[in-house]
Amino acid sequence: MKTQEAATGFNSTNIADHPLTFAFHFFSFSIKMPFPEPFLDRMKSDMGQEFPDFLNALEQPAPVSIRLNPAKGLVAFSNAEPIPWHPDGHYLPERPVFTLDPRFHAGGYYVQEASSMLIHEALRQTVGLGQDLKVLDLCAAPGGKSTLLVSALGRAGFLLSNEVIQNRVGPLKMNLEKWGHANVAVSNHDPEDFEKLAGFFDVVLVDAPCSGEGLFRKDEDAARHWSAASVELCSARQRRILTAGLELVQEGGILIYSTCTFNQQENGDNVEWLASQGFEFVKLDLPETWGVTEQKWGYQCYPHRVQGEGFFFAVLRKTGGSQAIKLKNNPPKDWQRFPEKQLSIFEGWLSQPSDFAFFTKPDDAIVAVPLVLADSFFTVGASLKRRSLGLEIGELKKNDLVPSHTLALANELHPDLPKADLSKDQALHFLKKENLWETDWQRGWTLASFEGLPIGWMKVLDNRSNNYLPTNWRIRMDL
């Protein structure tokens, strides 16, 4: 059986078999890849006596952790070790093949390294959880922190999840669709394109592209591409992203800066610079038992102290500058408001259709925008060209709704829709886009479900069913 993990050529069982090295495989032979010497020299001088422990931790396999989706209510991993700083986070004793877990495809949980989940605690201690906030994740793909942010908002706030690199937007959207929230918009822009949204956001997260020193033990590419020059380049790029990002925060709002690297140029220096640009450093209260190292300009996770990767983060509050901008309350010009007298179509599909405004886009897709957040969606719609707004519901065909896959995964789905409870084996065959059928399944649109979580639509006929899983969502692995 060929797993996704194997397809990368990376075999974690070889990580620890040579000091200062990790291994990757190419066909049948393995090449030892040393950690870069200048990196080790610098860490030795930065860490002093702790260096041997640090190095030893780098030679161990990376811990595996997941974060449950509270909106989906999956009951699982209850015996797994909890992550102290996130109520939904768990360490797993070993790495399962996530592709073969239907609950993963249903958005029941996200696979995320544990240190990154500290962002949840940073929000809790600063702006609070479940608040009506406008949040921007400026460097969002593949979406780990976006799913964390939107869970921290619940249904109350608005998240704009942005990714500049076009081919990373698809995976980002997929992960957010699985997560199921209707209060998220996705955009595909360079941070410098956001000038019309200056002062719009209460929270901006810049989870910056970095030299990746904190990922060396799980990503051989990070070590292979590292050089002192790449650290300089990353630091300059981060400064450019932050220069654009800091304008987007409204006065009193917060900017969270994070990387997965250890060096001063990319971390502390950038935060110190932010503190000279109308921001003040916000100190957090993190229990000592968590092992996070407090530095002058931020918080660093080292792998010998924290069970997770080398994450760095800092929270800054904007003390002056941008005022909140005036919000727009008109939908995009090419959207048609859905006719009032046809709105009853959505009853039975959504748990609270009256919470939404419905529109038809030029490609005939119907989207639902949460009424209480419509001005945020429309302001983003009027300010950015490449964006997707609203929960995609489906299309009308001869006055009947053909529901979208996004709707199958949405947290707003009506709980009484017909469901076919599949075994794990059936669910995996459904996810391979095979047509399944059982006599007692309700005819018509039926949710293929596993352990109560929808994974897609089937149209059940008298002697067969049609599987409506989009082809690009299909799992390619052999079962």
Tokens of 10: 């990376």
With beta carbons less than 8 A apart as the criterion, state whether 320 and 251 touch.
Answer: yes
Among 97, 165, 371, 479, interactor with ligand SAM by CB under 6 A: 165
Per CB under 6 A, the segment of 66-74, 161-169, 302-310, 406-414 that binds ligand SAM is: 161-169
User: What is the helix (H) or strand (E) element at residue 144, kind and residue range?
Assistant: helix 144-153
Clarify whether 234 is annotated catalytic. Answer: no
Cβ closer to ligand SAM: 258 or 465?
258
Q: Is 237 near ligand SAM (CB under 6 A)?
A: yes
Distance CA 214, CA 219 (A): 9
Cβ closer to ligand SAM: 179 or 349?
179
Tokens of 116: 């990154």
Of the candidates 212, 277, 213, the one whose C-alpha atom is nearest the C-alpha of residue 245 is 277
Q: Is 164 near ligand SAM (CB under 6 A)?
A: yes
Catalytic residue among 139, 210, 234, 260: 260
Q: Is 143 near ligand SAM (CB under 6 A)?
A: yes
Tokens of 313: 């983060």
Rounded to 5°, the CA angle 67-122-269 comes to 115
Cβ closer to ligand SAM: 241 or 380?
241
Q: Is 163 near ligand SAM (CB under 6 A)?
A: yes
Distance CA 349, CA 447 (A): 11
Among 87, 142, 170, 268, interactor with ligand SAM by CB under 6 A: 142
Q: Is 141 near ligand SAM (CB under 6 A)?
A: yes
3-state secondary structure of 50: helix
Q: How far is the CB of 384 from ligand SAM (least distance, A)?
A: 14
Q: Is 246 near ligand SAM (CB under 6 A)?
A: no
With beta carbons less than 8 A apart as the criterion, state whether 198 and 251 touch.
Answer: no
Per CB under 6 A, the segment of 20-28, 57-65, 139-147, 318-326 that binds ligand SAM is: 139-147
- CA 93 to mean position of chain CA atoms: 23
Number of residues that bind ligand SAM (CB under 6 A): 16
Rounded to 5°, the CA angle 146-147-149 comes to 60
Per CB under 6 A, the segment of 160-168, 394-402, 430-438, 446-454 that binds ligand SAM is: 160-168
Q: Is 121 near ligand SAM (CB under 6 A)?
A: no
Of the candidates 238, 252, 305, 311, the one whose C-alpha atom is nearest the C-alpha of residue 280 is 252
Of the candidates 108, 112, 107, the one whose C-alpha atom is nearest the C-alpha of residue 177 is 107
Q: Is 209 near ligand SAM (CB under 6 A)?
A: yes
Q: Is 454 near ligand SAM (CB under 6 A)?
A: no
Of the candidates 446, 389, 398, the one whose C-alpha atom is nearest the C-alpha of residue 422 is 446
Q: Is 392 near ligand SAM (CB under 6 A)?
A: no
Write out the catalytic residue numbers: 260
Binding site for ligand SAM (CB under 6 A): 139-145, 163-165, 168, 191, 207, 209, 237, 241
